[in-house]
Structure 1
C-alpha cells in the first residue's frame, strides 16, 4: 500500500472513531492514539507511523463497538489487534 493510501485509510478510521465515540469518550478511551501525536493531516510522518496509528485506531474502535453494542468481539480478534499494535510499535522503535 502506498503512503497516500495509508493516510486515506487513517482518515477513514478517524471518521469511524468520531462516529462511534461520544466527545467525553474520545479523550478517555483514545489516550493511546492521542499520545502518538499523529493525525492523517501529518503527511510528513512516515508510512510506518501512519500504519501504527491505524492499528491503534482499529483496536480502540473494536473496544468501543464491544462496549456500545454489548456485543462481544472475539478474544482472538482483540488479541490480534493488540499484537499488531505491539509489533508496529517495535518496528517504529527499530528504525
Structure 2
C-alpha cells in the first residue's frame, strides 16, 4: 500500500471512530493511538508511522465493538 493510500485509510478510520463515538456515546480506547502522535493530517510522518497509527486505531475501534457485541441481543424480530 502506498503512503498516500495509508493516509487516506487513516483519515477514514478517524472518521469511523468519531462517528461511532457520536452514535453510541461510548469512547473508543485509543491510548496506543494517541501515544504514537500521528494524525491523518501528519503528512510529513513516514509511511511506517501511518501504518502503525492505522493498526492502533483499528484495534481500538474493534475492541470497543467486541465489548458491545458481547452484550446479549434480544431474540425479538423487528
Scaled by the length of structure 2, the TM-score of the pair is 0.76
CA distance in 2: counterparts of 1:6 and 1:12, whole angstroms: 10
Contact persistence 1:38–1:53 (CA under 8 A): yes
Structure showing the higher helix proportion among its residues: 1
Unaligned runs of 5+ in 2: 72-78
Query: What value does the CA root-mean-square deviation take over the aligned residues?
Result: 1.8
Q: Which has the higher contact order (CA 8 A, sep 6+)?
A: 2
Scaled by the length of structure 1, the TM-score of the pair is 0.64
CA distance in 1: counterparts of 2:68 and 2:16, whole angstroms: 14
Greater C-alpha radius of gyration: 2
Unaligned runs of 5+ in 1: 72-95
The number of equivalent residue pairs is 69
Give runs of ≥4 in structure 1 deviating > 2 Å. 21-24, 68-71
